Amino acid sequence: MQLLHRFREDISAVEPPTRFNNPFYYSPHPLCVAAACEVRAFLLGDEAVAAEAAKGKMFGVLVVRDPAGEPGYFAAFSGLLAGSNNVPGFVPPVFDFLSPTGYFKREEAGISLLNEKIRNTEQGGEYRVAAMAVESLRTEMEQELAAMREAMRAGKRERDALRAGGNLAASEEAQLVRESQFQKAELRRATQRWQQRIEECRERLVPLQAGIAAMKEERKRRSAALQEWLFTNFKVLNARGDSKDLLSIFKEHRGVLPPAGSGECAAPKLLQYAYKHGCTPVVMAEFWVGNSPQGEVRRDGCFYGSCKSKCEPILSFMLQGLDVEENALEHGGNITSLRVLYEDDYLIAVDKPSGVLSVPGIVGGTSVQQWLRDTMNSNDIHVVHRLDMATSGVLVAAKSMEMYKAMQSMFATRKVRKEYIALLEGVPALPCGTISLPLWPDYENRPRQRVDFQGGKEAVTNYCVVETRLLNGKECALVQFEPLTGRTHQLRVHAACKEGLDCPIVGDALYGNAGDRLMLHASSLSFSHPATGEELFIEAVFR
C-alpha cells in the first residue's frame, strides 16, 4: 500500500487509544498530532499544492494497523486540492465521479450546454426585441392612463367647486354627472385598448417563453436525475464489511436527499480506504491548514470535529463495527457540583458546572432547570437566560412565570450587566477594547456560528485583559468579557476569529482546540431586583 505512511518519528512509547475516538468531539491523540505534523511537512514539498492548501483546506489523518498489525497512517483532504480529487500521497475519493470520460462529467456537460442554450435564448435578438416591445407598450400605457387619471381628478375638483357654489339647476347637475361618467368610461376603454395591444404583442413571446420553460424543466429533471445517480453509485463501507449508498443512508437517517458534496470530506475517504485495504482504524483527526474561509472561524493548525450536515449520517454508518467513544457533548457533566449562590422568594441563582445544560435538551443529561424543579418540588421554576453547555458560572432562575417574564424583559432591554472570565490561547494585541462583529448560525456546521456582515445579528463585546499567565509553556491571557448583546457563542467567536481577538478560549473544541473543559465562566450578574428594587450583585469564582 503506497499510500500507507509510516511514522518518521519513533512512536513506540506512545500508547494507542483503547477505543476509536468519536469524530465529532475529541482531543487529538498524540499519534494524530504526529501524523498531522508530517502531513504539513509533506505539503511543503509541492509548491503548487502548498499554495492551494494555504488558501484554506481541511485535512485528515487516520492512524491504522495494517493487515500485519504494523502501525501507519493515511492522509486525506476534503473536496478538491489544486483542482483535483486525486493528489499523490493522499487517499483517493470514495467514488471518482470527476473522471473526464465518465457519465457524470458527460451529463454535467450536457446540462451546461442546456444552461447556455437557455441563456442565449433569453438574451437573443428575437426574444429581447419582443420583450422590449411589450415593456415599451406597458410604459406608454402607464403614462397615458396616469394622464387621464390626473385629468379626472382635475375635473372632479372643478365639479366640486361648482357644486360648492350652490344654486345649480337640475340640468347642470345632470351635465356634471355625465362628464364624470364619460371620463370613467373613457379610462376603461383606454385600458382595454392598451391591454389588447399588449396581449397581441405578447403573443410573439409565448412560443419563446414556452421553449425556455421546457428547457428549464428538462434542466431540473436532468439535474435531479444526475444527483440521484451520483448518490446511488456513491457507496461506502463500514467495519463489518457492509456497503450502503449515500441516497439510502440519508433517507434512513434524516429522510432527505444528501446535500451537495456529501462523502467528499476527509473522514469518509480515510475510513473507506482503510476498510478496502484490510486496515484496522485506530484513531482519527481532522485539522485545518491555511486561511479561514470568509465568515467562518477556522484556525491554521487547529483540530476540528467532523461536519454534521454531510458527515454525521455517513459516519454513523461507516463507524458501525468499531468500538467508538461516546460523544462527550451528548452526556452531561456532574450536576451534583452545582452550588446555590442566591435565593429569595422570587429568584434563585446557581453556579452552573461546565458540561451541564441550562434547560432540557435532546442531549446532556439533567439540566439546571430540571434539577431545580426536582429539588424544590415545583414545576414553576424557569431558567431566565442561557449559558452554553460547556460554559460554567452564574445562572438565574425565576420562581414564577410573572418573575420569569420580568427578568427576561430586563435581559432583553440590557438592564442586566453580565461579566465573564475566560482564559485565552495567547494574548490579545490590545489590552482592552470593544468587539463588534455580527453573527449568524453556520447551518452546515451546527452549532457553530459565523461572522456575517450581510445578514448577521449585531453582537458587541467589551473586553479587558486581567493578567497573563503561562500554560504549557505558552503565554495566555485571562480576560474579562462584558457582552452587551446575547448571541449564541458570541464570546467564543469574538475571541477566536481574526477580526476579533484572534485568541480562542482554551478548551474550545468548536473554534480552537479541545481540552478538558471550555475555560469560559459567567463570573457575575448585576441588576435591580424586579420585585424588591434591591441592587443585586451575584458572583461565582472562576475555578
Of 325, 323, 320, 286, nearest to 445 (Cα)?
286
CA separation (Å) from 361 to 309, 405, 528?
19, 21, 30
Active site residues: 388
- Do residues 340 and 394 touch, judged by C-beta distance below 8 A? no
- Do residues 129 and 201 touch, judged by C-beta distance below 8 A? no
Report pLDDT digits (tens) over 69-91.
999 999 999 999 888 888 889 99
CA 280 to chain centre: 33
Cell of 49: 499544492
Confidence of residue 1 (pLDDT cuts 50, 70, 90): low
Of 312, 301, 316, 237, nearest to 269 (Cα)?
237
Cis peptide before 28 (omega within 30 of 0): no
Q: For 386-511, where are the alpha helices, taking DSSP H only?
A: 401-412, 490-496
> pTM for this structure?
0.74
The Cα 524–Cα 543 span in angstroms is 14
Q: Which bin fits 255, alpha (ψ -120 to 50), beta or left (φ > 0)?
A: left
- For residue 335, the model assigns a pLDDT of 80
- Give yes or no for residue 65 having a pLDDT over 90: yes
The DSSP line for 494-531 is HHHSTTTTS-PBTB-TTTS-B-SS--EEEEEEEEE-TT
Reduced to 3 states (helix: H, G, I; strand: E, B; else coil), residue 147 is helix
- Do residues 504 and 362 touch, judged by C-beta distance below 8 A? no
- For residue 331, the model assigns a pLDDT of 61
Report pLDDT digits (tens) over 251-301.
988 778 888 889 999 999 999 999 999 999 999 999 999 998 888 888 898
- For residue 364, the model assigns a pLDDT of 62
Report pLDDT digits (tens) over 150-171.
999 999 999 888 888 878 888 8
Tell how strand 280-289 and strand 303-304 pair up.
antiparallel
Report pLDDT digits (tens) over 345-376.
999 999 999 888 999 876 667 889 999 999 99
Across 118-132, 216-230, 395-409, 429-443, least confident range: 118-132
The Cα 26–Cα 28 span in angstroms is 6
Across 154-168, 381-395, 420-434, 526-540, least confident range: 154-168
The identity of residue 239, as a single letter, is: A
- For residue 91, the model assigns a pLDDT of 95
Locate the DSSP E strands across 186-318: 235-237, 243-245, 280-289, 303-304
User: Where do we find the cell 437573443?
Assistant: 124
Which H/E stretch holds residue 130?
Answer: helix 125-165
- For residue 243, the model assigns a pLDDT of 96
Question: DSSP assignment, residue 458?
Answer: P
Confidence of residue 342 (pLDDT cuts 50, 70, 90): very high
The Cα 364–Cα 222 span in angstroms is 44
The β-bridge partners of 75 are 61
- Give yes or no for residue 103 having a pLDDT over 90: no
Cα angle 194, 198, 201 (rounded to 5 degrees) comes to: 140
The β-bridge partners of 281 are 64
The DSSP line for 161-202 is HHHHH----HHHHHHHHHHHHHHHHHHHHHHHHHHHHHHHHH
The predicted model gives 239-247 an average pLDDT of 94
Computed over its alpha carbons, how large is the radius of gyration of the chain?
33
Across 93-107, 336-350, 442-456, least confident range: 93-107
Higher pLDDT: 362 or 96? It is 96
The Cα 151–Cα 148 span in angstroms is 5
**% of residues, the chain, pLDDT over 90:** 61
- Give yes or no for residue 329 having a pLDDT over 70: no
The Cα 279–Cα 64 span in angstroms is 6
Confidence of residue 509 (pLDDT cuts 50, 70, 90): confident
What mean pLDDT is reported for the chain? 90
Q: What is the 3-state secondary structure (H, E, C) of 372-393?
A: HHHHHCCCCCEECCCCCCCCEE
- For residue 408, the model assigns a pLDDT of 94
First to last CA, the chain: 50
What is the CATH code of the structural domain delimited by 332-539?
3.30.2350.10
139 Cβ neighbours under 8 A, 6+ residues apart? none
